[in-house]
Amino acid sequence: MSTKITHQTEGSLSLSEPKQYHVYLLNDDYTSMDFVIDILIRIFHKSYVDAQRIMMQVHQKDRGLCGTYSYEIAETKVHQVSSLARESGFPLKAVMEEA
């Protein structure tokens, strides 16, 4: 004996893209340019040329965009910047803002 099961659903399921967040490095008077470049290469996987360009944005415009990520990834990168900066004796800060 076989049993046939059918399912009916009402309405529609709407999936949306997760919110995205920009991560910025903020300028300060103490963090070395070389350290900022190193952070951009190590944490944000930028090429040396891109890291230099973003570092100059940080230096000249007080902040530079490092990338746009999901909330969890952006939050992790902000924490990584803070940890590495603190370990190295620099006050460098990263912030995230909804895109």
pLDDT in tens, 43-52: 999 999 999 9
Nearest-10 crossing angle of helices 71-88, 33-42 = 140
Q: Report the DSSP beta bridge partners of residue 65.
A: 24
* Distance from C-alpha of 21 to C-alpha of 17, rounded to nearest angstrom: 12
- Is 29-98 CATH 3.30.1390.10? yes
Inter-CA distances, 47 with 2, 21, 57, 90, 95, Å: 62, 21, 15, 22, 21
What is the pLDDT at residue 76? 98
What is the pLDDT at residue 16? 83
Task: Calculate ∠ Cα 41-70-65, nearest 5°.
Answer: 45
What is the pLDDT at residue 49? 98
Nearest CA-CA partner of 62 in 87, 31, 83: 31
What is the pLDDT at residue 15? 82
Which residue ranges in the chain fall short of pLDDT 50? Answer: none
What is the pLDDT at residue 2? 56
What is the pLDDT at residue 88? 97
What is the pLDDT at residue 82? 98
